[in-house]
A and B are shown apart, each in its own frame.
Chain A
Amino acid sequence: RKEVEQDPGPFNVPEGATVAFNCTYSNSASQSFFWYRQDCRKEPKLLMSVYSSGNEDGRFTAQLNRASQYISLLIRDSKLSDSATYLCVVGFNAGNMLTFGGGTRLMVKP
């Protein structure tokens, strides 16, 4: 079993749609959780950290369920520019060790 698992997609959605991604992790000692966005052959860029209480940044909402060991990302009102691969990242050892999920590809179409 992979340490961090994601549905690879692709998720094909029309502009304006709401889309949700889930991610599960196996290490119960994980301490930090992030969503990164990666465009093709580019470096990952931090989208948002994920906190136990859940957090929102504009159209993006992230939630963490420690009991079930999963993280979610909700994107509302999808834009064409949201098309990318979204990486679920789980950290431990004070963030010094990060494990990346395989990524979920999103394609937003007009």
Chain B
Amino acid sequence: GAVVSQHPSWVICKSGTSVKIECRSLDFQATTMFWYRQFPKQSLMLMATSNEGSKATYEQGVEKDKFLINHASLTLSTLTVTSAHPEDSSFYICSARRPPGVGPDEKLFFGSGTQLSVL
């Protein structure tokens, strides 16, 4: 079963609305989660690193006021796309890193992604 749950899978919204995407680690506590964006036929681009209990670290060129990240608990991080516009339409994926020693070798788990379409 899924180790990291991401919701919703698909969002279609009008321009100007805000959209919240949730990422939950189901089997472990994740002090760090990552948010990525992927445009068609391009690779994943790291947007920000979400740190439990503190501010997220944003990559260069990513507007922190537009992409609000909240990591209020050890199992949940949320990404809110504020005042979404058509150019924000993309595939957003989260990942969570399982701490060493908790399970087998694979330490990074991805959510199933959210396809955002802004009309």
Contacts and interface: CB of A to CB of B under 8 A. Distances in A.
Q: Do A and B bind each other?
A: yes
Interface residues on A, range: 10 to 19
Interface stretch (B40-48, B70-78, B79-87): B40-48
A95 B97 contact: yes
Contacts of A49: 105
Interface residues of B, number: 23
B91 A44 contact: no
A41 interface: yes
A98 B113 contact: no
Interface in A60-110: 87, 95-96, 98-103
A49 B104 CA distance: 13
Contact of B113 (A8, A41, A96): A41
A95 B112 contact: no
Contacts, number: 39
A43 interface: yes
Q: Does more than half of chain B's interface fall in helix, strand or loop, or is it mixed?
A: strand
B15 interface: no
A98 B108 contact: yes
B98 to A, nearest CB: 11
Contacts of A102: 42-43
A103 B36 CA distance: 15
Interface in A11-61: 41-46, 49
A110 B86 CA distance: 39
Contact of B43 (A45, A46, A103): A103
